[in-house]
Structure 1
């Protein structure tokens, strides 16, 4: 379970980093959404840090920067990155589901679902189709 939680933590930290780059390319109301998403990822990150501490586990230190899958230079690429990040977070939380207790499973499912919903909203704003994934959190 610690390995899966550490991967979820890494995904949350990557999302926090990415939203700093995403937000500067969005319109005013979209920037508000990006700030809200970043804040939610920060809260989930903090919960994961506490949970790993409870388990007496540690995660690898986060890097000073993250390799992005493509350059973010405008609104279109920023929205694509937001989709990419949220899909990645959903995938990270999906693998937590089978290794947790009932209470933790509910939290992991909520995190996965929230990311899938945000990805869908970003797809809609960017005109990216399909709007949803058949199995949110599943790679490919």
Structure 2
């Protein structure tokens, strides 16, 4: 593969990683702006599931921070493989929650996130435009 094509593919990877990072970052920021409102919303969403309220509440306080941190790391391309793993694990937890709620529409959207985390993880060697690459 010639250098121009390789650079184009690496730029495409960068844009996908950056987009996923911005997505996660903005989710985290929006929820952190009114964390108590998010917590109360989550408790209401899970009130008819088997999850105890304290566990839902604990999760609702942790999820926005996780989204924010994962987003920042993906935007910067710093510790990218770890951030992708954490993002994929977070999506797994969210899929579990959606399944308990029988919220199949939201789960479908979360499965798309899972696919993007897989793609970014699988193609990690294309992560040229990143702080990880500068650290090498």
The TM-score bracket by the shorter chain reads: 0.3 to 0.5
Larger Rg: 2
Question: Which structure has more helix as a fraction of its residues?
Answer: 2
Q: Give the TM-score taking structure 1 as reference length.
A: 0.45
Q: TM-score, normalised by structure 2?
A: 0.46
Q: Which has the bigger relative contact order, CA under 8 A and spacing at least 6?
A: 2
